[in-house]
Amino acid sequence: MQEGSRMKVTPIKEAEPGKRGRKASKETRQLQLIEATIDSLAKRGYSETTMADVADGAGLSRGIVNFHFESKEKLLVATLQYMSEEYAVHWRNALAKGGDDPARQLASVVAADFDRAICNKRKLAAWCAFWGEAKSRPTYQSLCGARDEDYQNVIIDICTALKSSGDYDFDPISAALALSAMLEGLWLRLLMGTENVTRATAYAAACDHLVSVFPKHFSREELRARKIA
């Protein structure tokens, strides 16, 4: 989950009820097409997703898809931008709920990673589709890298603060990297259905990781008592 040379992302408003007709706004149309793209990526994968699939999924004509995005690549970039911005807003809101306490901040951010709005097989599959293409597509690398860098820097700062207050013997950068890798690994296991992992059991595993790394700041009972949305 890396936000540095952050690209400008224009937020797309949620579609309003009754706006699926011919007079729907540009933002509504684009959101319909992006949501249909996420559906297609989850169902068919990256290479098998076509503009026709997206048009059918959105209940719109191929001409409308071309009017708004011109090409499959532009549609996919817009979809990745949308998902990146959605995730960034989600974890930043969670961070804010933690106030000024680093331990509360970290607990909130970790729990937010398992909220249903973000952590569902549909979106996890779409993320994996983009990650699989990122190595050969600089635009995707930039967007995925931008998403991760801000997040990682915040986690490093939190680990640094917790190390200082808890007198732990670890490197904050390594601890932050391990935490992020653990969360991404749990996302992957959720997507693959490995070992019958559920959002609840994945979150419980994340809680145990926090307790093992920061035993002076967290207890298993306290963390697991937190409800994920």
- In this prediction, residue 217 carries a pLDDT of 97
pTM: 0.84
- In this prediction, residue 79 carries a pLDDT of 96
First-to-final CA distance of the chain = 20
- In this prediction, residue 77 carries a pLDDT of 93
- In this prediction, residue 6 carries a pLDDT of 34
Q: How far apart (Å, rounded) are the C-alpha atoms in residues 117 and 50?
A: 25
Residues (pLDDT < 70) of the chain are 1-24, 146-147
H or E stretch covering 90: helix 72-97
- In this prediction, residue 146 carries a pLDDT of 64
Q: How far apart (Å, rounded) are the C-alpha atoms in residues 131 and 125?
A: 10
- In this prediction, residue 44 carries a pLDDT of 94
- In this prediction, residue 24 carries a pLDDT of 65
Q: How far apart (Å, rounded) are the C-alpha atoms in residues 92 and 105?
A: 10
Tens digit of pLDDT for each residue in 112-139? 999 999 999 999 999 999 988 877 788 8
Residue 98 CB-density burial (10 A; 0-12 exposed, 13-18 middle, 19+ buried): middle
The CATH architecture one would assign to domain 79-224 is Orthogonal Bundle (1.10)
